[in-house]
Amino acid sequence: MRFPTKQESQLRNEVAILQNLHHPGIVNLECMFETPERVFVVMEKLHGDMLEMILSSEKSRLPERITKFMVTQILVALRNLHFKNIVHCDLKPENVLLASAEPFPQVKLCDFGFARIIGEKSFRRSVVGTPAYLAPEVLRSKGYNRSLDMWSVGVIVYVSLSGTFPFNEDEDINDQIQNAAFMYPPNPWKEISGEAIDLINNLLQVKMRKRYSVDKSLSHPWLQDYQTWLDLREFETRIGERYITHESDDARWEIHAYTHNLEYPKHFIMAPNPDDMEEDP
């Protein structure tokens, strides 16, 4: 009898999770097969990850515009996970894969080996994830829920915009995380908007009940930005699938463009549906 290794258990957990997930922002499981000795999992082919993109950029950090574009996609994928009571538990830039080498790429979450199925108020207590991205409640063994992932999103935003970690691994990182002891050094934070810093502050909240949810984050002024919406709509138009923005927001952004003398792309204006144009009897 062969007993599964820790890595194999994580792999089987990942497969079990991915088999029930079908979303453009989550890596697609193509197939799985096994021999008496090994387990093989085939995922869709993608192009690098967010960490590589950050490190290879000109300043070893990403501009706000690109970060907003990618973080919005991460949050939309997380919303799908959390709706299904799944917590990723190991969100970090290495687990945000890119579908192409384009400046504004589609992103997909991967590596669900630590993922857990959990309810809104149910709490797990096992230690999961990568230390630099771990939420305080995990380190304290106090149990965790969906908000665990939101702390990790806060770290991702910080890393993307600065190219550095909010918490210093050379010192006692656990104490830093449990006290949210991080700073915004003038280089580079003096160049970064106050709205970005405000979102990070609301995500890196030690108390889970104070930490922003997915929907609250998506509604934050930093992400509710006309240029970000344009970038996302251009992307959706290019791939022929709308899953990030919603048509209920179209009129709001069209009015915003008109009142601020901004250009509103004509190809975003929906042609009227003939069925809606029938004359009243």
pLDDT at 1: 38
The average pLDDT across 113-132 equals: 68
- When pLDDT is cut at 50, 70 and 90, the band that residue 250 belongs to is very high
Identify the CA nearest to 214 among candidates 103, 86, 116.
86
Catalytic residue among 49, 90, 111, 149: 90
83 and 202 fall within a common domain: yes
Asked whether the predicted pLDDT for residue 259 surpasses 90, the reply is yes
- When pLDDT is cut at 50, 70 and 90, the band that residue 163 belongs to is very high
- Phi–psi pair at 207, nearest 5 degrees: -80, 125
Average pLDDT, the chain: 89
Domain that holds residue 23: 6-43
At which of 187, 218, 249 does a domain end?
A: 218
Torsion angle of the four alpha carbons 238, 239, 245, 251, in this order, in degrees rounded to the nearest 10: 40
55 and 102 fall within a common domain: yes
Task: Choose between 143 and 116: higher pLDDT.
Answer: 116
170 and 198 fall within a common domain: yes
Give the whole-angstrom CA distance, residue 189 versus residue 238.
Answer: 33
Is 90 assigned a catalytic role? yes
For 61-93, the DSSP string reads: S--HHHHHHHHHHHHHHHHHHHHTTEE-S---G
Distance of CA 8 to the CA centre of its chain: 26
**Sign of the dihedral defined by the CA atoms of residues 119, 125, 129, 133, in that order:** positive
261 and 154 fall within a common domain: no
